[in-house]
Amino acid sequence: MKSIPEILRIVARTAATLVVTTWSVLAGQPPAATTSQVTNLTPINATLRGLVWPYGAETVAWFEWGSSTNYGNRIGMTNAGSAAWDGILIEATLSNLVASTKYHYRVAASNVWGKTYGANLVFTAPFFAEVGADLRVDQGSGGRRDVAGGTAAWGDYNLDGTLDVLLTGNYTSDGGYYGTIFRNEGNGTFASVLARSLLSGVSSAAWGDWNNDGNLDILAPALRGICINNGLGAMPFRNWQEKENRNNV
Ligand SMILES: [Ca+2]
Ligand SMILES: [Ca+2]
């Protein structure tokens, strides 16, 4: 639909006053487009955002992106409608980015009157992203407790392809000893899998498959031995053995 390129001015007179009311009526023109900052930025993903004003004519919008202002890629082709005055939010998510790499992008929009590009913006895919994992101990009604003074080690104890966390230390609230495994749920969260603490004292700890059965075991000096992983699933500690270190392990 083409718009009408003119300004209407309506004049009315009452007995006492002269009233002038002005309506601006859309002139046929290309859309407006403003590139916005990316959101949900991780080492491999980023959500591109932009605002598009169709100015009353059917408009399509998309993003152009790449490692330079030559862009070279398009994503998110979207029908932005034909709103007269409202800005339309356009989003598209990039994936398979390369960490620590700088990217350029801009939003683009086109209608029957022409094409418009938003400003070029840049972002850098970070090396690391905060996943918000909470590795404190859930004490139920007592809330979560912080741990300090120990160690943390990665290891895939349940062989599901995601690294789990072995965490030791002491509670900052009362100094009590702490040691447990957090299972990596694969969605940015971790679940504590031990019914009780591994430790009877503050200790360093490390994973290692001491008996070569394919299951990672735990070495922690405070255990006075090795905690053997029998590979029995989600609550392994109940079925693990604490192997005393008396020169016969
Ligand atoms: Ca795992
Ligand atoms: Ca083992």
The candidate with the shortest Cα–Cα distance to 117, out of 90, 84, 81, is: 90
Ligand 2 centroid–CA 218 distance in Å is 9
Ligand 1 geometric centre to CA of 216 (Å):
10
How many angstroms does the Cα of residue 214 sit away from the middle of ligand 1?
A: 13
| 156-183 residues labelled b (16+ CB within 10 A) or e (exposed) | ebbeeeeebbbbbbbbeeeeebbbbbbb
**Environment of ion ligand 1 (residues, CB < 5 A):** 156, 158, 160, 162, 164
Q: Report CA(225)–ligand 2 centroid distance (Å).
A: 14
- In tens, the pLDDT along 136-178 reads 766 666 567 777 777 889 999 889 999 999 888 887 777 777 7
193 Cα–ligand 2 center, Å: 18
pLDDT in tens, 10-49: 445 555 665 555 555 567 899 999 999 999 998 889 999 9
Q: Closest ligand to 212 CA? A: 2
**Cα–Cα distance measured from residue 178 to residue 208, given in angstroms and rounded to the nearest whole number:** 20
Query: Residue holding tokens 């079925």?
Result: 239
What is the residue type of 156? D
- Give distance in angstroms: CA of 235 to centre of ligand 2: 16
Distances 22 to 12, 13, 148, 212 between C-alpha atoms, Å: 11, 14, 69, 84
Residue reference for tokens 């994936």 = 95
Between the CA of 185 and the centroid of ligand 1 the distance, in Å, is: 8
pLDDT band at 245 (very low <50, low <70, confident <90, very high): very low
DSSP 57: S
**Tokens 């009526």 belong to residue:** 25
Least distant ligand from the CA of 233: 1
Distance of CA 206 from the midpoint of ligand 2 (Å): 13
Average pLDDT, the chain: 80
- 0.85 exceeded by pTM: no
Number of helices (H), then strands (E), in the chain: 0, 21
Residue 160 is given by DSSP the state S
The predicted structure's pLDDT at residue 18: 59
Record the tokens describing residue 217, joined without a space.
């075991």
What percent of the chain clears pLDDT 90, i.e. is strictly above it?
Answer: 41
> Ligand 2 centroid vs 9 CA: distance in angstroms?
85
User: 236 phi and psi, to 5 degrees?
Assistant: -70, -25
CA of 90 to the centre of ligand 2 (A): 52
